[in-house]
Amino acid sequence: MAVITLHRKPLTFAERTYLPQVAAGLWTTFKHLLRPKETLEYPEQRPAIPPGYRGVPALVKDPHGREKCVSCQLCEFVCPPKAIRITPGAVPADQPERTHVEKAPQEFEIDMLRCIYCGLCQEVCPEEAIFLQNQYSMTGYSRAEMVNNKEKLYALGGTRPDAHYKWDKKKAAESAGGAHH
């Protein structure tokens, strides 16, 4: 490769006085002075959350308002900072149409002081029951307050409109004689 020697142009007298440069700089900064401000005034103005944002993880229900989590504990296993604790239990007796699911979380805790918002729990979940949603601000006065329990997680997550109804299909397939849907 050819070597190209660049010659630095000698400065003109005006450039060496530095004054035209300072004046031009002053003009630039003055334009910035008059320009609209870039700052978002936070508590009143909120930033737009882009799709795919990884906020506070939460549990979601299906469109019929039924629990999706089957307490398989994959998320607990995959969670790098070990923020998730699940106490597995049986499906509550008042949900007869879901007894074939066999398991449901008795308690589901995410310690938000440990959570690193990596989204691996969402990725690993076979039931699409846990999602990292839009909420980005978590505060509390005590460590205990920063642990989200099952009730809080469902309150945060709400209902998600994807109509898979995996377990309904499985039940229907079973009653129709097939092993799988």
The reply on whether position 39 binds other proteins by CB under 8 A is yes
As measured in angstroms, the least distance from the Cβ of 14 to other proteins is 14
Residue 42 or 141 with smaller CB distance to other proteins: 42
**Chain position carrying tokens 């909420």:** 135
The reply on whether position 25 binds other proteins by CB under 8 A is yes
Residues 88 and 107: their CA atoms lie apart, in Å, by 7
DSSP string, 65-110: S-B------HHHHH-TT--EEEEEEEPPTT-GGGGGG-EEEEEEEE
The reply on whether position 26 binds other proteins by CB under 8 A is yes
The reply on whether position 28 binds other proteins by CB under 8 A is yes
How many residues lie near other proteins (CB under 8 A)? 15
Give the interface segment with other proteins, choosing from 22-30, 61-69, 144-152, 173-181 (CB under 8 A).
22-30
**Chain position carrying tokens 């849907």:** 181
The reply on whether position 139 binds other proteins by CB under 8 A is no
Tell me which of 11, 14, 22, 113 binds other proteins, using CB under 8 A. Answer: 22
Sign of the CA dihedral running 150, 156, 159, 162: negative
As measured in angstroms, the least distance from the Cβ of 43 to other proteins is 10
Q: Is 155 helix (H, G, I), strand (E, B) or coil?
A: helix
CB 146 within 8 A of CB 140: yes
The reply on whether position 13 binds other proteins by CB under 8 A is no
Residue 9 or 32 with smaller CB distance to other proteins: 32
Tell me which of 2, 7, 13, 38 binds other proteins, using CB under 8 A. Answer: 38
Main-chain dihedrals φ then ψ at residue 114, nearest 5 degrees: -100, -30
Q: Is 127 helix (H, G, I), strand (E, B) or coil?
A: coil
Give the interface segment with other proteins, choosing from 6-14, 24-32, 136-144, 161-169 (CB under 8 A).
24-32
Q: Please classify residue 122 by burial: count the beta carbons closer than 10 Å to its beta carbon, then call 0-12 exposed, 13-18 middle and 19+ buried.
A: middle
Q: What are the residues binding other proteins (CB under 8 A)?
A: 19, 22, 25-26, 28-30, 32-33, 35-39, 41
